[in-house]
A = this chain, B = another copy of it.
């Protein structure tokens, strides 16, 4: 097999695209954007004592009050074990309280602590500016188009992975 290592030295400048990206420009872009987005979120959340990912869980908690863990799993569409561990850490850092559900002794009720509620506004704000930062320079119609296309892509990826909540 020809390993075809032609790229490093004297290629007549095909505009740099690392070559690997040629095989799937959108896939590539999605990963990169997601990673950068996560990093940006992390920086904004760092001052608030949250790690990226946790804010979504907290937002749902702030929004919905006490909920079953299974509710969180369904809403966030994450693996149960992921949520368990996130909650363990959030409990340890005092953002969340868990207690057994009296109506169903298998279940666990989760709610945001009062202290965590102080972060609510800050987190909402952080997400707002993150969204704005993400979409800077895009016109309204571009934003709408991006949203539409991402939804379409999500639906595509969903149907096979079989793991996402149906949408109307």
Question: B56 near A20 (CB under 8 angstroms)?
Answer: yes
Asked if A124 is an interface residue, CB under 8 A from chain B, the answer is yes
Q: A20-B60, A65-B8, A131-B24 are in contact. Are A33 and B36 (CB under 8 A)?
A: no
Provide the A130-159 mask, 1 if CB < 8 A to any CB of B, else 0: 110111111000110111011111101110
Whether A149 touches B152, Cβ cut-off 8 Å, given contacts A14-B165, A65-B5, is: no
Bound state CA distance, A133 and B158, in angstroms?
10
Which of A24, A37, A43, A156 is the most central at the interface, judged by chain B CB atoms within 10 Å of its CB? A24
What distance in Å separates the Cβ of A112 from its nearest Cβ neighbour in chain B? 7
User: How many Å lie between the Cα of A134 and that of B120 in the bound state?
Assistant: 34
Q: Given known contacts A1-B118, A146-B26, is B8 in contact with A167 (CB within 8 Å)?
A: no
A residues at B contact (CB < 8 Å): 1, 3-8, 11, 13-20, 23-41, 43, 56, 59-60, 62-67, 73-75, 77, 79-80, 112, 114, 117-118, 120, 124, 127-128, 130-131, 133-138, 142-143, 145-147, 149-154, 156-158, 160-168
